[in-house]
A and B are shown apart, each in its own frame.
Chain A
Amino acid sequence: MYKGVPDIFFVREPMAVLAFAVSRQLTQLHPVDVLILALYFALVLFIGFYVKGSTNTSEEFFLAGREMSAWIAGLSFVSANLGSLELMGWAGSAYQYGILAMHWYWIGAIPAMLFLGIVMMPFYYISKTHSVPGYLRLRFGEGARALSAGSFALMTILMSGVNMYAMAVVMQTVLGWNMTFSIWIGAATVAIYVMLGGLRSAIINEVLQFVLIWAGAALIPILGLIEAGGWTNLKAQIARNVGSNDYMHMWSTLGTFKGNPMGIHWTGIVFGLAAVLSFGYWTTDFLVVQRVLSANNLRAAKLAPVIGAAFKLAVPLIVVVPGLLALAVLKNADGSTMHLVAGDVAKATGQHAYDEVLPLMLIRYCGPGLLGLGITALVAGFMSGMAGNVSAFSTVWTYDLYGAYLNKKASDKHYVAMGRWSTIVGMLVSIATAYIVANANSIMDYVQALFSFFIAPLFGTVILGMLWKRATKEGGFWGLLAGTISSIAMFAYVQTGGKAALAHIALSPDAKPMAENMYRALWSWLICVAVTVAVSLLTKPKAESELEGLVYGATVIPDDGSRTLWQKPVFWAGVVMVVFVALNLVFF
């Protein structure tokens, strides 16, 4: 669910994201498809050059001048999470696990996005911080900032490389493109437009990508539902093909680990996914929070995540529904039902892999022209995934590492130059990462896992920092460190301890790796919170006057300018929440 590498902390199965059977090419581009792709590259490069003139100060380069409207920041916020790996990976998961995949879009996103907008955004915004590590410095001091900034910078740059490699694999599998060609063309384009336009370039491209993804993918559910004969017929066909009704219920099968295809219990979904992982990602991951920080006023900053949440509710239509449709409509050449398999099996047998479901559905319905649009949407998703990572990296590197520890007193112009150079260097490191991953695939699993080590404890630290005045500098640092180390320790324990270890962490011998990921997040968050509270109670708190603008109860939240009910972010958050609850009941 993370831009570029969607499943960083929602790891589904090892290597599932790239579980393509790379032995054959699925289709090829027609000249009209190449034209559509070329037009996209021309447009993004033009945008990079166009906005370069207005990215002269660090505020402009790193935070897009804080002048984005709620709609732009909101679309960019949700788009920063809508990468191509996410689309393909979760379409594959929907095929594999059924409608349970919806949880990652609804309960695993919506409450956290609304919480960010209504509760947390005022503190991020009025503290005028430029980054999440920057907020940690204001609240907990240098130790917590250094720990958070260092881990974030390392992870984002590795993620960018993994994303680059993934794009190359997909392009090779679907179109037969040379991997080196894909890596260098994608990296060069992204490096140019981010180096020139900074976050502003990245945000514009994310908005374009959001539109492009819908333009390229929305035909699949539309035509698929026509072919299947509507939703009711689709459910009946799936039940017939898989021999079970479990694939079409979101909650009723979660009473036991064994009762559903994911091997997960509702407590894992509610407490692990929704309460910890999702809140951790959506409220503290700087890649997405950075988009909202670009908003032009407090009301826009509060409204942007609400707008993002409203769009997020609709995303399963182009991700989960195609996966479900594939269960009903995909056929072999002889007319029999096609069965997709895990990536390693696909490589051995020549069948198609789960994660090929979206390209397969695209090819099923889209001829020349539409195919080009779909492929362009995938390429756009990969490239803005790299751009999102590399722009967040250059911000954290320049503000929270270089500017904080290596060169504290440089001019603003110097920091902008450093931002541009770090973009280039970041892309080169990403390219190197892509080649390393290409030669040792298992590294990708560890890179994904590494990110998951930090996100849950970080949420514990930030939320206590924002809501509890008594939390101290020492409590914040040691809590974050303890949570992170415990997460790493649990990961190592499960890696070496097998099923018995998994059963301890995930509370059941029937649990699958997905469940382990969620319970590990929950435990590491609890450890972070417990250590932060314990250490804080033993150490001296900051004076309340020093907490103004940073902590609930010590801050007067300024009026956001809403006058009518329709202007109030909290009203729209309520509307989104009602729709969210209704959808969960409909698909219960």
Chain B
Amino acid sequence: MAEGTGRGETLSIWFFVGIMTLVYGLVLLPYGAWAWFGGHEAPTTLNRLHPTFWWGVLLTLFGCFYTLRFRPHRGDERKV
């Protein structure tokens, strides 16, 4: 049974955690790349470290791991 979302449901709470962080990573990563390589970095302190890009990478990796690790499997119970 999926952990935490209820009897017979196929999606685990951890899957939601993964999807959320993956989607945010996939928004931040290309935006950060565009800002970095296109010379559009916002005038924030330490923008030379390109935090948007690197944070996007981190969230994408974290999200990928949780999404894949807790993705619904065929054998999981289905909601009636």
Contacts and interface: CB of A to CB of B under 8 A. Distances in A.
Interface stretch (A6-14, A238-246, A363-371, A395-403): A363-371
Contacts of B3: 69, 72
Nearest to B19: A43
A367 B6 contact: no
A370 to B, nearest CB: 5
B46 A226 contact: yes
A212 B23 CA distance: 12
Interface stretch (A53-61, A144-152, A413-421, A452-460): A53-61
A313 interface: no
A367 B35 contact: yes
A490 interface: no
A200 interface: yes
Contacts of A64: 4, 6
A60 B27 contact: no
A32 B27 contact: yes
Interface string A37-57: 001100100010011011100
Contacts of A43: 16, 19-20
Contacts of B17: 207-208, 211
Interface centre among B3, B17, B44, B47 (most CB of A within 10 A): B44
A208 B20 contact: yes
A212 B8 CA distance: 27
Interface in B51-78: 51-52, 55-56, 59
Contacts of B8: 54
A227 B45 contact: yes
Nearest to B47: A367
Interface string A62-85: 001101110010000000000000
Given A53-B79, A223-B45, A370 B9 contact: no
A200 B9 CA distance: 12
Interface in A361-390: 363-370, 373
Interface range on chain B (Cβ under 8 Å from partner): 35 or more
Contacts of A557: none
B47 A50 contact: no
A226 to B, nearest CB: 6
A227 to B, nearest CB: 6
A215 B24 contact: yes
A35 B24 CA distance: 10
Nearest to A373: B24
A204 B13 contact: yes
A369 B4 contact: no
Given A226-B46, A367-B35, A212 B6 contact: no
A365 B24 contact: no
Given A54-B9, A227-B46, A369-B28, A67 B4 contact: yes
20 contacts: A36-B27, A60-B6, A64-B6, A69-B4, A72-B3, A72-B13, A200-B5, A215-B55, A226-B46, A226-B49, A364-B45, A365-B46, A367-B43, A367-B44, A367-B51, A368-B31, A369-B27, A369-B31, A369-B52, A370-B51
Interface of A: 32, 35-36, 39-40, 43, 47, 50-51, 53-55, 60, 64-65, 67-69, 72, 200, 203-204, 207-208, 211-212, 215, 219, 223, 226-227, 329, 363-370, 373
Given A72-B4, A365-B45, 4 more contacts: A39-B23, A53-B6, A67-B6, A207-B13
Interface of B: 3-9, 11, 13, 16-17, 19-21, 23-24, 27-28, 31-32, 35, 41-47, 49, 51-52, 55-56, 59, 79
Please list the 3 inter-chain residue pairs (A to B) with the smallest Cβ-Cβ separation, ordered nearest first: A367-B42, A54-B6, A72-B4
